[in-house]
Amino acid sequence: MASTQRSVLILYKQLLHECHKFSLYNYREYFLRRVREEFHQNRNIQDASKIAELLKFGQENLGVIRRQVTIENLYAPQQKSIIENQQHSSISSR
Amino acid sequence: MLFIRRNSPIKAIVFSSISRRLSSEARSAAKEQQEIEEKKVKQQKYQELEKLQFRPLYLDAQATTPMDPRVLDQMLPYMTHLYGNPHSRTHAFGWESEKAIETAREKVAKLINADPKEIVFTSGATESNNIAVKGVARFYKDKKKHVITTQTEHKCVLDSMRVLESEGFKVTYLPVKKNGLIDLKELESILTPDTSLCSVMMVNNEIGVRQPIKEIGKLCRSKKVFFHTDAAQSVGKIPINVNEMNVDLLSISGHKIYGPKGIGALYIRRRPRVRLDPIQTGGGQERNIRSGTVPTPLVVGLGAACEIAQQELTNDATRVTQLSKRLIDGITKRCTNVILNGDPESRYSGCVNLSFAYVEGESLLMALKDIALSSGSACTSASLEPSYVLRAIGADEDLAHSSIRFGIGRFTTEAEIDYTIEKTAEHVKRLREMSPLWEMFQEGVDLKSIKWSQH
């Protein structure tokens, strides 16, 4: 049991770490939120087979996010989202 | 006296021919001028793009949506190594592509509770609508020559109807009530034994109202009229069951559900069977309904988008509703005289169409440059005419001119909503302070009672 708990925790951290790398603000925010929600929602599951299934789903998604972060960053535009520069923009628009 | 009189008709003729020549010259000159203007506007737009310091935030989810990275991840193999033609029968390249499109078909079918055999891939909802409307009407034209649609339908349905009208069909454009919904009793009264098709969109693209599809479906089934619904704005956002709703044809668009652009699907019921005349003929792909090689990567993308939409439906829905409430509450709290267009209850919450009284919508859009918004559908956003949808729901000319559509989607964040509220309130206040109409309204003058003099 302790080992699965550990692997769940590792997966969670890996997912969050990868999601932070999205250069597009909206993707980053969305996937961070979804990862947190999903783990929070399933935190009380005891059934070992269900946990294994969810772990597999998470691992697959980790792979997807890793690949997509790489691709997405290859084509990232120079400008960032206005939200990320909110304070800066409110000065320049005056 | 005589001299002048004799001369005058000649003069008149000479003058008229000159004026005619002048007018044709003037016309071509005006056309040229207009082309130059258009070019200038385009160049200005591109220059502005280069000056862009920050990317605007995106709040136009009804026009299109960003592709979900999970969708792209499934598409990429079919854009690189797996390039086979899905219709090739003789080698592995064809087989693997065929397998991929059949899996995608299953995913699309599952989302709307249909059979995979009932799904036909097209280039988008516009093509799906064209095939459905023209195809069904033309197939049954010998027996039935009447079709029904609503006034608030998307341009591609309305235009297909115009084509049918020119072919001798009788088309009824059903008006909508003030809240944007159709009157079922009125629909029932115009359904005749001569009616072959009724086309009503599920969620309106401009005001977001949800038509009572289930009731319409039931009514059409009882009168043996085929029922088509344009679900481009609603698939993957609200639960759809074609059997429960008695829908016979349903149009799906890929890029409105976080999938790729250039792909869509049409659901065509098999039992009771709906038959139609294909528009595009050729190799006979897609059960002869839509010839042309099926674009494997795009179809895989649509399938992935549908699968994810099904997984994320409840999460997306609660999130979008929450953000939409935050936006409406925030704006109405900060600004007075804001009107929500369309029915407040029967609606898809991700499409918020607000009218700001005494503010010119176009100026507000210009002021809100760092927010990607639109005053209506993207297809008609080039013209300054007020939207026909808003006019159909009986909005006053001035309110139709002052409307803005906020489109909330899967990737919209709270910070973006707050920023939008802040900026909108600020600019509405500023523009109203400049407006003489607003001043008069503040003084209690009833603007409708004023007779504006004509100049």
Residues of A whose CB is below 8 A from B55: 77, 79-82
pTM: 0.89
pLDDT grade for A78, boundaries at 50, 70 and 90: confident
Residue B54 near residue A89 (C-beta atoms within 8 A)? yes
Q: What are the pLDDT digits (tens) for B270-316?
A: 999 999 999 999 989 999 999 999 999 999 999 999 999 999 999 99
Residue with the two structure tokens 């795009």: B298
Dist CA B286 CA B120 (whole Å): 6
Residues of A whose CB is below 8 A from B410: 30
Q: What are the pLDDT digits (tens) for B36-55?
A: 998 998 888 888 888 888 99
CATH class of B69-309: alpha beta
* Average pLDDT of every residue of chain A: 89
Contact A29 B411 (CB under 8 A): yes
Q: How many other CB atoms sit within 10 Å of the CB of residue B421?
A: 20
Distance from CA of B388 to the nearest CA of A (A): 33
ipTM: 0.90
Q: What are the pLDDT digits (tens) for B147-179?
A: 999 999 999 999 999 999 999 999 999 999 999
Q: What is the pLDDT of residue B121?
A: 97
Residue with the two structure tokens 């044809």: B249
Q: Which of B116-130, B138-152, B360-374 has the lowest mean pLDDT?
A: B360-374
Q: What is the pLDDT of residue B21?
A: 59
Q: What is the pLDDT of residue A93?
A: 44
**pLDDT at residue A86 greater than cutoff 80:** no
**pLDDT at residue B90 greater than cutoff 50:** yes
Residues of A whose CB is below 8 A from B418: none
pLDDT grade for B385, boundaries at 50, 70 and 90: confident
CATH of B313-444, one of 3.40.50.300, 3.90.1150.10, 3.40.50.1980, 3.40.720.10: 3.90.1150.10
**pLDDT at residue B410 greater than cutoff 50:** yes
Per-domain residue ranges for chain B? 69-309, 313-444
Contact B70 A68 (CB under 8 A): yes
Distance from CA of A27 to the nearest CA of B (A): 7
Q: What is the pLDDT of residue B184?
A: 95
**pLDDT at residue B445 greater than cutoff 90:** no
**pLDDT at residue B427 greater than cutoff 80:** yes
pLDDT grade for B4, boundaries at 50, 70 and 90: very low
Most B-contacting residue of A26, A65, A85 (CB-CB within 10 A), to test interface: A26
Contact A29 B413 (CB under 8 A): yes
pLDDT grade for A89, boundaries at 50, 70 and 90: very low
Q: What is the pLDDT of residue B156?
A: 94
**pLDDT at residue B20 greater than cutoff 70:** no
pLDDT grade for B135, boundaries at 50, 70 and 90: very high
Q: What are the pLDDT digits (tens) for A50-67?
A: 999 999 999 999 999 999
